[in-house]
């Protein structure tokens, strides 16, 4: 197990882990707890993290995340749940609905 990155929220961490798994890279979401007693951890130290099962896949995973970063940023409203989605995502991070476009529906 090796930590790939820290995500700003659990929904995004889950989305990234799903994306990595879809690309054949076994990944899971872990809740990052700093050492200390649960409940006394500052919120910014309890962010979810994406971990890889196999650290040999780290390079590939980082490349994938960079490619995700290079995608055009979008700003859209999910038609299923009304959530605002920012970033290069074609899927609503809240409910999982797909962004419907003219080219692929």
- For Zn ion, which stretch binds (CB under 5 A), given 17-25, 27-35, 57-65, 97-105? 97-105
Give the nearer residue to Zn ion in terms of CB position, either 15 or 27.
15
Contact 90, 71 (CB under 8 A): no
15 binds Zn ion (CB under 5 A): no
Contact 65, 4 (CB under 8 A): yes
Largest CA distance in the chain: 50
- CB of residue 46 to Zn ion, shortest distance in Å: 25
- Chain positions contacting Zn ion, by CB under 5 A: 78, 80-81, 83, 92, 94-95, 97
């Amino acid at each position: 197990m090796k930590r790939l990155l820290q995500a700003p929220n659990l929904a995004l961490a889950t989305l990234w882990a799903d994306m990595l798994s879809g690309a054949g890279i076994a990944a899971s979401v872990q809740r990052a707890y700093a050492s200390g007693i649960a409940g006394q951890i500052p919120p910014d130290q309890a962010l979810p993290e994406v971990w890889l099962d196999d650290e040999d896949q780290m390079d590939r995973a980082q490349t994938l995340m960079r490619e995700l970063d290079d995608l055009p940023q979008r700003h859209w409203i999910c038609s299923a749940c009304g959530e605002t989605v920012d970033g290069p995502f074609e899927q609503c991070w809240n409910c999982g609905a797909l962004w419907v476009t003219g080219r692929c529906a």
